[in-house]
Amino acid sequence: MMSDQTAVAQVQPVRTEAYLDFLQMLSGVALVMFMWAHMILVASVNLDLGGGRVMNWIAHFFEATYMAQIGGPMIALVMLAHFVLAARKLPFKAREQKEMWRHSVRLNHLDTWLWVIQAVTAFIILIMGCIHMWTVLTDLPITAQKSGARIQGGWWMLFYIFLLPMIELHVGIGAYRIGVKWGWIKRSNRQFFHGLENKITLIFITIGVITLFTFYVLVKPM
């Protein structure tokens, strides 16, 4: 029996780890795309200075076509899958965590710190992202007025102002590192993409802050 399996293993290499890493990349790309799109859609509330006509129209469109009802849970599933796939790379043993931390402090190397940031923000996003999705998706339809009322309650403002940079850091670093790991970012253009990542992250954080300001100050709650 044993020798049969050995023979089979010799014919074809085990490919599971390759598939899982490939899926991790795909789920990462999908989530990056989603987060950027999400930010642009939510920021539509700024277009008429918090009046909410554009945002409500977009929200209505997504609900009328059932994209919110189906897409929302789908994104949650992708996020869950991404979490499971990416967490395979995280240190869960105390010894590994200690080594990684010691190493990061000792080497004090930017890209290594970026990864540590990504690993930490991941868990914050996992928890806060779930809370956010549950709150919004169990209270459809989405309207600017309802979101405004929630944010003006105060606690949600704190919640979002904290979650925003966590997401943008995780996503920006993630996009950069996908490029590095899959060889699209090379030694010759690494500086450029590093700069681009910083700029994109900053731009999205800025849009996010402006949008939160609009919700907090300009939107008339119901």
Partner 1 sequence: MGRPLKFNIFRYNPEDPASVPHMESFHLEETDAMTLYIALNRIREEQDPTLMFDFMCRAGICGSCAMMINGRPDLACHTKTKALPAEINLMPLPVFKLIGDLSVDTGTWFRNMNERVRSYIHTDKVFDPNADEERMSNELADEIYELERCIECGCCVAACGKANMVPNFMGATAFNRVARFMMDPRDQRKTDDYFEIVATDDGIFGCLGLLGCEDVCPKDIPLQDQLGMLRRKMGWASVRHLFDKILPGGDAKKK
- For the chain, the C-alpha Rg in angstroms (whole number) is 21
Which of helix, strand or coil describes residue 219? coil
Compose the 136-175 pattern: x for residues touching partner 1 by CB under 8 A, - for all others: ----------------------------------------
By CB under 8 A, is residue 20 in contact with partner 1? yes
Contacts to ligand HEM from residues 123-142, by CB under 6 A: 123, 125-126, 129
By CB under 8 A, is residue 220 in contact with partner 1? no
**Contact window for partner 1 (CB under 8 A) among 33-41, 46-54, 62-70, 88-96:** 88-96
Question: Would you give the distance in Å from CA 127 to the centre of its chain?
Answer: 12
The site that binds ligand HEM (CB under 6 A) totals a number of residues, namely 29
Could you identify the residue written with the tokens 């009328």?
A: 64
8 Å CB contact between 88 and 16: no
Among residues 1, 8, 14, 222, the one that binds partner 1 under rule CB under 8 A = 14
CA-CA distance, 65 to 61, in Å (whole number)? 6
By CB under 8 A, is residue 89 in contact with partner 1? yes
Number of neighbouring beta carbons within 10 Å of residue 205: 17
Three-class HEC string of 36-68: HHHHHHHHHHHCCCCCCHHHHHHHHHHHHCCHH
CA-CA distance, 30 to 170, in Å (whole number)? 14
Number of neighbouring beta carbons within 10 Å of residue 209: 14
Among partner 1, ligand HEM, none, what binds residue 186 when CB lies within 5 to 8 Å by partner kind? partner 1
**Contact window for partner 1 (CB under 8 A) among 50-58, 69-77, 102-110, 149-157:** 102-110
List the structure tokens of 7.
């023979």
182: DSSP letter: T
**Contact window for partner 1 (CB under 8 A) among 37-45, 55-63, 76-84, 95-103:** 95-103
**Contact window for ligand HEM (CB under 6 A) among 55-63, 78-86, 92-100, 143-151:** 78-86
By CB under 6 A, is residue 114 in contact with ligand HEM? no
